Structure 1
Amino acid sequence: MSEIIEEIKKELRNQTTVPYFGLGIFKDIKTKDGEQMPYDSDSMILRMNNNRPMSQRLMFEYSRAAMHLEERRGVQYLTQLVNSIYAQDFEPTPLQKMIINMQPIYIIDTNRDSKIQELLAYEPHCLILGKSRIMADKNRYETYEYDVENKKYFLVEDNVLDDAKKILFKPMGSILPEPTFVISDADYVDWLTEAMGGFALPPILKTYRKTKKYLFLGTSFDRDTDRMVANELTFDSAGGYVITDKELGKKEKKFVEKHNLVVVDMSLEDFIKEFV
């Protein structure tokens, strides 16, 4: 196992493996008020519904539950709700800190928090923020450049990415610079439809991602949505690694085999201990 960890370290340092963060990195992470951060589909649904379970049909996947809330209360309500979850006071996770310390130049973060942005607040970087249901444009993202001196993001054209020293890609949105999220079924359908047409990420990343490996951290492939998103974001990949101590289901195993991923059988907590 230690040989695989050392190989992952080496590949992170030489930029051949790209870190890919999922919801599971927040397991055991609590806010300053002692509230558990959502770390899987069920816990996300509970947080969106005042810690009350929803119907079995809606509990299947949080995007379905989010769609129900959007239909009842509206898009603005759902945006404010998700923003309130991630705007709470909590520390960046040990895993986020550890990976940032490896100085990757390209990071994929499918979570909606701003903690990696906060960890990068003292160095120049570009942010690619996923969007959905934009009527005026096929592209399902916006590109920002971070001004270190003024601590602000500025909307820029994609050509700025040509000289970017670091790129943070948050395809499902973030609370910063303005709250925008891909979270409901309608959001995902729109985003995935345009992603399949090639409009979910800038052209430079389509070139950069070729032959890259991916390190999946806190990412589960037991839901169709997560598999489809990962498939689009890691197209042309050369394989990679999944860190998990959970037994994989049939669909998960099929995804792992299709994408030539190595399953590293350990919890994220043990991975961190071994890594450092």
Structure 2
Amino acid sequence: MDDIKEELRSGNLVPFIGMGVFKNTICEDGTTLPYDSDSMILSLNNGRTMSARLMYEYSRAAMSLEQRKGREFIVGMTNHIYASKKYDLPFVYQFFKEIKPRYMIDTNMDDSSCKIYEDVEHFMITGVSRIMAGYDRFLLYKFDTALKEYKRIAKEELNDSLPILFKPMGCMIPEKNFIVSDADFVDWLTEAMGGYALPPFLKEYKKDKSYLFLGVDFSRDTFRMVAHEITLDLKEGIVVSKKDELTKKENKFVAAHNLKYINEESDTFLKGL
């Protein structure tokens, strides 16, 4: 992949975006958006730390809050984190707004990636969990540029005639569906392993693709499993992450998936292109 920018434009290299891309995002009120597990926990819990066992990973902390305060609370808090803040489109999303990738994966739950495609028709797939209607763990939409809104469509309508935005952990729009607590991830991953987390078209379309991972933390089991399921049959890829040293599990994941590790901040890496 000598020309990364051209590979992104052609759709051969698929962006895979994680929370770390928010690290340098400052909101109008001077606060920051969550950019890692710890800051996400603080945001969900009104700035208060939790026990060491719960601070291990935000999905665990979210599960504890859900058990104590209810599902509506955790959905409301997740939405509030982004809906209550005003912030400029982070640089990573500005970069991809110029390119408009044919296929993009965004595990963040705000609407920044939707703004990449706000002036073009596109499909959006959002993850959903713990539903009773069948096994599928996704909802599918098409964006109407005239009305500036998403309309629900059937999975059979998905094709590659338009860009595809996949938000596996859900989104604050058009419906508030989030994969945020342990129970959400367990349910979503269980059905993902059974083949029910992606529409049939996407299962074939994604084969032999390469991936550019930006801001994704592979130090915890959850997102390694999420990435593994979404990128099955991948060709190769690049992981961009600024760290002193990768953990043993991270190194194993990188090697097993034929990935190249680049020790840089996402913004720095993209500006270098």
TM-score range, shorter chain: over 0.9
Whole-angstrom distance in 1 between the partners of 2:91 and 2:259? 24
Tell me, what secondary structure is at the counterpart of 1:270? helix
User: Which range moves more in the overlay, 241-250 or 162-171?
Assistant: 162-171
Give the match for residue 212 of structure 2. 215
The answer to whether the 8 Å contact 1:92/1:116 transfers is no
Structure 1 residue 86 displacement after superposition: 1.3
Q: Taking structure 2 as the reference length, what is the TM-score of the superposition?
A: 0.97
Distance in 2, Cα, partners of 1:72 & 1:109: 29
Q: Does 1:33 align with 2:29?
A: yes
Post-superposition offset of 1:160: 2.0
Aligned partner of 2:225: which letter?
M
Give the counterpart of 2:81 among 75, 79, 85.
Answer: 85
Q: Give the alignment partner of residue 233 of structure 1, picking from 227, 230, 233.
A: 230
How many aligned residue pairs are there? 271
User: Deviating runs (4+, > 4 A) in structure 1?
Assistant: none
State the Cα deviation string for residues 45-101 of structure 1 (Å, max 9, x = none).
011111111000000000000000000000011100000001121121111110231
Q: How does 1:183-194 map to 2 (within 5 A)?
A: 183-194=180-191
Contact 1:126–1:164 under 8 Å retained in 2: no
CA-CA distance at 1:163 after TM superposition: 5.1
Could you say which residue in structure 2 is the equivalent of 1:260? 258
CA 69–94 in structure 1, closer or farther in 2 if over 3 Å, else same: same
Counterpart code for 1:252 = E
Structure 2: distance between partners of 1:163 and 1:108: 15
Q: Which residue of 1 aligns with 2:268?
A: 270
State how far apart, in whole Å, the 2-side matches of 1:139 and 1:228 are: 18
Q: Percent identity?
A: 49
Q: Structure 1 stretches of 5 or more lacking a match?
A: none
Q: CA RMSD in A?
A: 1.1
Q: Distance in 1 between matches of 2:56 and 2:210?
A: 30
Q: Which amino acid aligns with 1:110?
A: T
- 1:204-248 CA distances to partner (integer Å, 9 max, x unpaired)? 111011110000000010000000000000000001000122121
**Counterpart residue type for residue 250 of structure 2:** E
Q: Quote the residue 2:163 is aligned against.
A: 166
Change (3 A) 1:163 1:18: closer
Partner of 1:121: 118
Mapped to 1, the partners of 2:242 and 2:19 lie a distance apart of 15
Aligned to 2:61: 65
Distance 1:103 1:80 in 2: 30
Task: Provide the rounded CA distance (Å) in 2 between the counterparts of 1:41 and 1:184.
Answer: 12
Alpha-carbon distance in structure 1 between the residues aligned to 2:80 and 2:100:
30
Instruction: Provide the C-alpha distance between the structure 2 equivalents of 1:118 and 1:95, rounded to a whole number of angstroms.
Output: 12
Name the residue aligned to 2:16: 20
Q: How does 1:130-141 map to 2 (within 5 A)?
A: 130-141=127-138
